Amino acid sequence: MRLSTTTIFLFLVLATTHTTQAADIDIKKFGGAPNGDITQALVNAWKQACATTSASRILIPSGTYKMRGVDLKGPCKAPIEIKVDGTIQAPADPKQLNGAEQWVKIGYASHITISGQGIFDGQGANAWKQNDCNKNTKCERSAMNFGFYFLNHTIVRGITSKDSKNFHMNILSCNNFTLDGYKAIAPADSANTDGVHIGRSTNVKVINSKLATGDDCVSLGDANTHLVVQNVECGPGHGISVGSLGYYENEGPVVDFLVKNVTLKNTDNGVRIKSWPSTSIATTVTNMRFEDITMVNVANPIIIDQEYCPWNQCSKKAPSKVKISKVSFKNIKGTSSTKEGVVLICSKSIPCEGVELSEINLTFNGAPAIAVCSNVKPKIIGKAPACTAATNKVF
């Protein structure tokens, strides 16, 4: 019997769909139940999924669960999705995580997805009270909610990170990583709760997300390339920051960062590039594009600060050795809570190059905000405030 070409094609499609459908692994199989501790259940489910040769999906159904720290490692033999629809709570006491840097760690794997409407609640209130890093350079840091490291082709979609004890998420040495519909939520006075920190990674996208924290919504460390933040709401918090840079040995360059279609509300800064003065660390920052951004009551909406010295814990005697070039600020509008809507303080020894201001429409108390600049001559395109000399303003 002969089969038509169409019949054969449909058969192949159905066969392919069947063979690639993920097999579900419910944590109930390993004793994970609402109102209980699911630490070992999740670890065991991961071990099974990681060992299987076909795609699998770990299910954490609706309900409230307790969980201590987990470190889920690959390499794994096939794609894994962790679908979370429940609320998972970390220990409220930071010491119960035994000094772990992250509460949920996933590393050394490829094709990992975390999805669902679940909430990862770091219960960080006690940690924030104990945080004295503003006056103690040797302070003990509590665990972040998430640590993703050495991952390839990863998607985090729909989940919420709540009240992390430290950063909500650290993405380190990852490639092709997408955050889509991600939420990070913590009070405005929660210390060091960056929504997402990215370091030494490439092709990372933060899209369609809402970040309301006590620190940077998005922060970039060194050695990052090809990053995108798009369709994101930020606030409260400290805004979107490149850096701080120039502090640690062997820092790599930050290249190609796009921030587009973003709204910042009631943040301490808007879009910012910052580097430390008086260090011997030299690196480069280039091809930064900030465009189509709305500011609502934002202090320092546009800022380059190469005299970054938080809590006066450093010296400004020598200029920063970080080279900043090819930076454009385009179509940025809204309200500033400070008179200086644009602040460009560049290094005296290595002035910024290729900085452009295009269609900047920021107001302060109903009047146009001003621009103050040092060691930079920005190119003005269309409407934008002209630079005046910077004073010794501390940001």
* Separation CA 215–CA 169 (nearest Å): 12
Q: Are 108 and 74 in contact (CB under 8 A)?
A: yes
Cα→Cα distances 158→46, 85, 215, Å: 20, 10, 21
Radius of gyration of the chain (CA): 23
Select which of 18, 153, 226, 238 is catalytic.
Answer: 238
Q: Are 230 and 205 in contact (CB under 8 A)?
A: yes
* Separation CA 88–CA 102 (nearest Å): 15
**Active-site annotation holds for 238:** yes
Q: Are 256 and 226 in contact (CB under 8 A)?
A: yes
Cα→Cα distances 237→96, 299, 384, Å: 27, 11, 26
Q: What is the 3-state secondary structure (H, E, C) of 64-111?
A: EEECCCEEEECCCCCCEEEEECCEEECCCCHHHHCCCCEEEEEEEEEE
Phi-psi region of 366 (alpha: psi -120 to 50; beta: other; left: phi over 0): left
Close Cβ partners of 365 (under 8 Å, ≥ 6 residues apart): none
Q: Are 149 and 118 in contact (CB under 8 A)?
A: no
* Separation CA 136–CA 134 (nearest Å): 6
Residue with tokens 């660390």: 281
The vertex-225 CA angle with 178 and 81, nearest 5°, equals 20
- 98-124 residues labelled b (16+ CB within 10 A) or e (exposed): eebebbbbbbebbbbbbbbebbbbbbb
* Separation CA 288–CA 31 (nearest Å): 49
* Separation CA 273–CA 74 (nearest Å): 35
Active-site residue set: 238
